[in-house]
């Protein structure tokens, strides 16, 4: 992710983000695909989804190169210039390169919806059956809710449990990080909406196995069902809060989640929603290690 002459950052990134809490977290992360593969092998993750974080704007080439080099290991959820005159052609081109879906963080912005800035990209995604990943803020935009309902045949994936807090939140964790969970659970009525448990342990005030987030996760599973919930790590941003192993394996420790549920959470749901060919995505179990961490 370094800003290098060969691969420079988007010219406006620093000016737009340097006063934000997450700026140095994004700016300070440099991870090659080889580094990611090493981490995955250590914890037993077979494949992973790569997605840009914005330092290169809407350029997906970094992630696409990684997926092309290691096609059995990586898929890509890309970004797009949703205001471009040729957004339909751009999307078709990305899908032709094997991109699994789009991530459009701005979809939570009510004013952009009011200006109709998402109309064409949403219609194109609907036509081409391209899943959209997004974050939400609270209160949830009324126009976003209307879009989720209108495009009932289009799959949407809510990142970071929909809490409105993206990890890491060290020093900034509110008294109740799940304050807005009821609003998220209300989205379960929309059958095309799914939830990703991205970086969930960052919302915990405890060490592994993060028991204080078990009850909210159970509520999400009860509302959406395991077939509409998927695990996500965000490990490049949470490594200072807990290990990648801990962030990968804590779901095994939560009482009441059986093997069939885990199979969906660790890959089954993701493969179906993003149309990714079948593979073993579940982390391999290391019961001795999990026992030591639980003590």
Q: How many domains does the chain have?
A: 2
Local confidence pLDDT in tens for the 295 residues of the chain = 677 777 777 777 777 777 776 665 655 566 788 989 999 999 999 999 998 877 766 889 989 999 999 999 999 999 999 999 999 999 999 999 999 999 999 999 999 999 999 999 999 999 999 999 999 999 999 999 999 999 999 999 999 999 988 776 666 788 999 999 999 999 999 999 999 999 999 999 999 999 999 999 999 999 999 999 999 998 878 888 899 999 999 999 999 999 999 999 999 999 999 999 875 444 444 433 333 233 3
* pLDDT score, position 27: 58
Q: Where does residue 35 rank: exposed (0-12), middle (13-18), buried (19+ CB within 10 A)?
A: exposed
* pLDDT score, position 21: 64
Q: Kindly state whether residue 128 falls inside one of the protein's structural domains.
A: no
* pLDDT score, position 76: 96
Q: Which has the closest alpha carbon to 197: 180, 213, 212? A: 213
Q: Which has the closest alpha carbon to 52: 90, 117, 113, 105? A: 105
Tell me how far CA of residue 151 lies from CA of 7, 127, 129, 190, in angstroms: 36, 10, 11, 10
End-to-end CA, the chain: 37
Of 79, 95, 115, which one is at a domain's C-terminal end? 79
Of 79, 105, 125, which one is at a domain's C-terminal end? 79
Same domain for 167 and 71? no
Same domain for 73 and 169? no
Tell me how far CA of residue 31 lies from CA of 121, 227, 237, in angstroms: 30, 31, 11
Give, as one character, the DSSP assignment of residue 30.
-
Give, as one character, the DSSP assignment of residue 74.
E
Give, as one character, the DSSP assignment of residue 202.
G
CA distance 167 to 169: 5
Residue whose structure tokens are 């290169």: 56
Q: Kindly state whether residue 136 falls inside one of the protein's structural domains.
A: no
* pLDDT score, position 168: 67
What is the number of other CB atoms lying within 10 angstroms of the CB of residue 229?
Answer: 23
Same domain for 159 and 73? no
Residue whose structure tokens are 């950052």: 9
* pLDDT score, position 182: 97
Same domain for 269 and 183? yes
Same domain for 71 and 195? no
Domain that holds residue 194: 155-295
Q: Kindly state whether residue 56 falls inside one of the protein's structural domains.
A: yes
* pLDDT score, position 4: 75
Q: Kindly state whether residue 239 falls inside one of the protein's structural domains.
A: yes
Same domain for 160 and 270? yes
Q: Kindly state whether residue 58 falls inside one of the protein's structural domains.
A: yes
Q: Kindly state whether residue 110 falls inside one of the protein's structural domains.
A: no
Give the CATH number, domain containing residue 177.
3.20.20.140
Q: Where does residue 22 rank: exposed (0-12), middle (13-18), buried (19+ CB within 10 A)?
A: middle
Residue 109 CA, chain-centre distance (Å), reads 18
Q: What are phi and psi of 289, to 5 degrees?
A: -65, -40
Of 79, 108, 123, which one is at a domain's C-terminal end? 79
Q: Kindly state whether residue 120 falls inside one of the protein's structural domains.
A: no
Q: Kindly state whether residue 101 falls inside one of the protein's structural domains.
A: no
CB-CB contact of 196 with 232 (8 Å): yes
Same domain for 160 and 56? no
């Amino acid at each position: 992710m370094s800003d290098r002459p060969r691969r420079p950052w988007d010219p406006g990134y620093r000016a737009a983000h340097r006063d934000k809490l997450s700026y140095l977290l994004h700016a300070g992360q440099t991870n090659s695909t080889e580094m990611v593969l090493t981490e995955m092998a250590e914890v037993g993750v077979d494949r992973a989804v790569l997605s840009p974080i914005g330092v290169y704007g809407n350029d997906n080439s970094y992630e696409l190169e990684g997926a092309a080099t290691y096609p059995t290991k990586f898929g890509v959820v890309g970004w797009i210039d949703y205001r471009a005159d040729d957004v339909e052609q751009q999307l078709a081109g990305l899908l032709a390169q094997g991109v699994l879906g789009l991530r459009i963080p701005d979809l939570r912005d009510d004013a952009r919806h009011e200006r109709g800035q998402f109309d064409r990209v949403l219609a194109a995604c609907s036509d081409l059956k391209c899943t959209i990943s997004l974050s939400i803020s609270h209160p949830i935009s009324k126009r976003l809710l209307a879009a989720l309902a209108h495009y009932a045949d289009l799959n949407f994936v809510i990142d970071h449990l929909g809490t409105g807090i993206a990890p890491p939140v060290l020093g900034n964790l509110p008294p109740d990080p799940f304050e807005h969970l009821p609003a998220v659970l209300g989205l379960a009525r929309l059958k095309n909406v799914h939830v990703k448990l991205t970086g969930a342990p960052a919302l915990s005030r405890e060490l592994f196995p993060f028991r204080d987030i078990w009850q909210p996760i159970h509520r999400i599973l009860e509302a959406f069902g395991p077939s509409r919930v998927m695990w996500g790590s965000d490990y490049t941003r949470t490594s200072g809060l807990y290990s990648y192993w801990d962030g990968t394996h804590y779901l095994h420790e939560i009482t009441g989640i059986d093997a069939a549920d885990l199979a969906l959470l660790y890959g089954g749901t993701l493969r179906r929603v993003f149309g990714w060919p079948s593979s073993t995505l579940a982390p391999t179990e290391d019961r001795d290690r999990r026992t030591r961490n639980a003590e």
